[in-house]
Structure 1
């Protein structure tokens, strides 16, 4: 890969990570906090003397999570590996990084909370995977039309 491609993947991954992270924050705030928005869990935010710094650190974690997931997508480029194995490996990276990020950001305080986070990661992963599959399927159909 060229440097330009690496930088592009990193920037895109960071943006997607921050977008997904902040969207999930909003969903959880709406679901559990009612009408007020909380950029993170009180346990995490209270660990900082400055809430701006806490939110900045949180966004950096989201960006790093997105970058790692973006580069983990390279696992799909090995054409000799079965697609199911590539997907399982990619999912493993995503879920392990999600658990690490969630642990650092104090997303749960109990086993049930951790299970909820894991379910959220799985659902988000499945939605992204489905959208990607549908997009790729459409591209293949368009290419096949051009070839005929």
Structure 2
């Protein structure tokens, strides 16, 4: 066996050990959504692509949002629960990972409405400006992350 083959085998072995460990380090996400919402399914796919294990309950999200203490004014089309935090709307997976790493005293994160260009709401590269809000334990909010507007990609 030559050196190059040995290096490839070692790299493949290391990857097979490392990537399941990374996925196992992320807690499972429970999503409450409408069974007919395509953008919710897109967001679930985004989470899975980012290494989360996701369980979907097609029961709507109003009851889950209320149970988790998220105001209707912060509402969107789906609500999730991860490690005791509420995730309302199209919150990008990297922001959820940052929340889990920092473990602030908070109810969770919210992206109110359905901003174009957020995960699950992609539209030809166009992105409306939007904020990811940290929902504090008292229900007040602060900006956790901001995403600037981006024009649509030109097609030729």
TM over 0.5: no
Structure 1 length-normalised TM: 0.27
Q: Which of the two has greater helix per residue?
A: 1
